[in-house]
Amino acid sequence: MEDFETSNAEDATQRLSGFDGMPKNEAAHIKETDLFVPGNLFLGKYSIKEKIGEGGMGVVYRCSQVFISKDLAIKTLNSGSLNDEAIQRFQTEAKAAGALYHPNIVAVHDFGVTESGTPYMVMDYVPGKTLHDVLSFRGQLSLETVIDIFAQCSDALAHAHSKGVFHRDIKPSNIVLLQEESIGPGAIRILDFGIAKITSNSAQTQELTKTGTVIGSPLYMSPEQSIGKRIDGRTDIYSLGCVLFECLCGAPPFQGDSVIETLMLHQTEQPKTLREASLGRDFPAGLQELVDSMMAKSVEDRIESMSRVHEILADIKETIRTDKSDNTIARRKEGKTSIQVNNGAVARSTLLNTKAIIAILTAIVLSVAAFVILQLMPQEKSEPVKPLQMLDARFATPEIERASYDQKVKRALTESRGYGWEHTSISSCEFSDTQFEMLARARWLKKLTLLECSRLTPEGIRKILSGNIEYLDLRGSELNDESVEAIAKYGAKLRFLGLSKCGNISSKALKSLARLTDMDTLDLSSLPLSDDVLKVIVDGMTKLRELGLANIPYIGDHSCRILARHKGTWGFNLSSTSVSDEGLKYLRKNVYFIYLGGNPRITDRGVETLIKNCPNLNVLHIPGASISPQVIFKMLAMKDLKDLLIGTLDADNETRIKIREIAKARKINIYTF
C-alpha cells in the first residue's frame, strides 16, 4: 500500500528528499549542481558538508551555518520535479514550517530559488529513524513509549493548529525518532508540511488545497479528507488516531486490497477495539475511549482539539505512573505480611520458653506505666487531618503551568546534553526562578536561544549569564528595560546577542548595550532604533563584525553615515529600511557583506556607488531594488564577490544566460526569487 503523494522512506534523510525506492544510479534525473559541492559556501553562510539523501523528488545536503557552527540540512528539488504543483508544495512546506517554533517540529530557516531555477529550503538537520522504520522492525511498541511519542506529537500539532496550520499528512514516515529507546522529552520531530493547509494563506496557495482535491495517505486519511471536503484541525486528529492505533496494535486500523477499498473502510467500517486488534493486550482505562473519539467518522463527534488530546494523554501517562507506584507498594506490603506471619509462627513455637514469658510480662508492665503517665499529662486538642485534594491536570493552575515549563526546559537541556551539543533552543516558555536555575547549572551550555519567551527578569538574566553563555538569541521574547540593562551588565562573555522583535525597549536601555565591547554580532532588527542609539552602539562596540538593522523604518540615509564611523571589517543587514541611493555613498571599503532587500529606493545609481566605495564585498543581497541587468554585470566584476542575491530580473533569456555564464566562470553563487 503506497501513499498518494510520497512513498514510505527508509530513513529520515531520505524521507526529506522524497526517496522513492530507486537505487541511486537509477535516479537519472538527479543532478549534482556546482552550488552544493562539499566545501562550497551557499548564500554566503551555509558551508556544504555532504549529500545525505537523494530520491525522485530531490536531494538533501548537510551543511553548517558558519556564523554559529550549527548543523542544518538543505533540501532541494531536482529539475525533473519542477512542475507547478511540486514547487507550490515546496513553498507551502517552507511557509508552514517557517511560521512554527516548537521543539518537536522541524524548523525551516531559509527558502528561495537559485538563479538556475532550483528551489531550496534550509531546515533543521534531523538524525534519526522514522516511526515507520521502527514499526517495521519492531511491530508493536511498549505502552509507555507510545504515550511519550504521541504526547509530544499532539503538543506539536496543537501549536501548529494555534498558528492556523493543519498538516494533513500525519503518518509514521513523517514522524522521526531521535532515539528509539526511552523516548524522552524532545525526542521526536514532525516532518513534511508540504501539503499543509495555511488558513491565512493567499488564494494562490489555497488553489493547491481547494475543496474537491484529495491528497494525503490512504492508510491514515480521515473520511472527510478522502472525499475532498473542507478540513480543519480535527482531520489531523483522525490521522494521528490511526497512527496511535497502529503503534498500539501493530497494524493500521484499515487496510484494504486497494487504495479505493482502504478509503471506503475509513468511510464505513468501525475499527476493532484495541484489545481485539492487539490480540488480547490490556490497556489503561481511558485509552480506548480516546482512540474512539479521535477516529470518530463524523467531524462533529470527534474530540474537539489537539490540545485536549495532549491533556488526556498526559492524564493516562500519570495513571500509568501511579499504577506502577501502587503495584510496587503492594508488593512491599505482601513481603512485610509474609515476614510477620513467619515471625508469628516462631513466637508461638517459643511461647512456652521461660525467658520469652518474662519478656512479654515486662513489656506489658511498661506499656501500662506509659499509658498512666500519658493520661496524667495535659492534652492538647488535636484537629482531624484533612486529606489532600488531588489536582485535575486538565485545569491550568499556576502550579501545573510552572511544572509544564519546568519540563520544557529540562527536556531541551537533556536532549542537547545527550547529543553533546553546546546549544539549546526553548520556545514559548514563561520563565520562573526554577528554569533560570536549570540554565545556570548547565555550565556546558555556550549557545542559548529563547524564542518568544516571557518573564525574563533582570535576576533571571543574571543567572543565565553567570555560566559560559557566549551566544544569546532572545528573538521575539518579552523584555523590559531592566532586563536589557542586566544583559549589558552581566553579558561580558557574550559574542552574539539577538534582540529582534523584542518589543518596545527604550533608547536608554539600548544604549547600555554599548558596554559589551567584545560583541561580535548584534541583531536589533524590528526594534524602535533611532540614529542617536545607533551612534552610541557603533562608537562603543568597536569589535562588531555583524549588525542586524532590518525592518526598522527609522534607519535611513543618515544612519549609513553613522555606520561609516566603524573602523573594523564588518557587514550589516539593512533590509526593509528607508535607505536609498543617497545613503550608500557614505559606506566604505571595510564593508564585506550587506543585505539591502526590500528597499525599492535603491537604483542603479546607488549600486554603482556601492561597487565603487565597497570593492571588498563578499556577499550582496539586493532583492526588491530597482536595478537593471547592466548594473548586475558590474556587480559580477567585483573581485571578491562570492554570493549575489537579486530579485525578479526584467531581462531577456539571452541576457540571463550571459549572467549565469559570467557568474559560473567567476565562481560567484547567484540567486534569484
Separation between Cα atoms, residue 580 and residue 625, nearest integer Å: 10
- Amino acid found at 416: S
Cα 283–Cα 289–Cα 295 angle in degrees, nearest 5:
110
CB atoms within 10 A of CB 389: 6
The answer to whether the CB of 164 falls within 8 A of the CB of 221 is: no
Sign of the torsion angle spanned by Cα atoms 187, 192, 197, 202: positive
Cell of 331: 508488593
46-54 and 70-77 beta bridge pairing: unpaired
By CB atoms closer than 10 A (0-12, 13-18, 19+), residue 55 is buried
Report the C-alpha gap between 576 and 562 in whole angstroms.
Answer: 18
Q: What is the dihedral of CA 661, 662, 668, 672, to 10 degrees?
A: -60
Q: Which residues pair with 114 in a beta bridge?
A: 671
Q: How far is CA 316 from the centre of its chain?
A: 25
Query: Does 169 qualify as catalytic in the annotation?
Result: yes
Q: How many helices (H) and strands (E) does the chain have?
A: 23, 22
Comparing C-alpha atoms, which of 72, 104, 306, 97 is closest to residue 185?
104
The residues, ordered by sequence, that sit 6+ positions from 107 with a Cβ below 8 Å of its Cβ are: 97, 98, 100, 101, 123, 124
Supply 445's cell numbers.
Answer: 551550555
Decide: residue 665, CB within 10 A, 0-12 exposed, 13-18 middle, 19+ buried. Answer: exposed
- Whether 410 contacts 438, CB under 8 Å: yes
Q: What is the DSSP letter of 383?
A: P
CA distance 496 to 461: 15
What is the distance between the alpha carbons of residues 180 and 378, in angstroms, rounded to a whole number?
Answer: 64
Helix 306-349 to helix 287-294 angle, to the nearest 10 degrees?
A: 170
CB 143 within 8 A of CB 274: no
Contact between residue 595 and residue 573 where contact means Cβ atoms under 8 Å apart: yes
**Residue closest to 287 by CA, chosen among 461, 87, 188, 146:** 146
Catalytic-role residue among 133, 148, 155, 169:
169
Question: Contact 412/424 with Cβ under 8 angstroms?
Answer: yes
Please check whether residue 149 is in contact with residue 247, taking contact to mean a CB–CB distance below 8 angstroms: yes
Geometric angle at alpha carbon 115, from 66 and 601, rounded to 5°: 85
Closest CA to 670 of 642, 649, 640, 637: 642
Between CA 95 and CA 209 the distance in angstroms is: 15
Q: Is 116 within 8 Å of 656 (Cβ atoms)?
A: no
Q: Using alpha carbons, select from 568, 586, 659, 146 the residue that is nearest to residue 672.
A: 659
What's the CA gap between 566 and 386, in Å, rounded?
70
Return d(Cα 471, Cα 494) in angstroms, integer: 6
Q: Residue 597 in contact with residue 619, Cβ under 8 Å?
A: no
End-to-end CA distance of the chain: 38
Interior/surface letters 561-584, b for 16+ CB within 10 angstroms, e for the rest: bbbbebeeebbbbbbbbbbbbbbb
Annotated active-site positions, please?
169
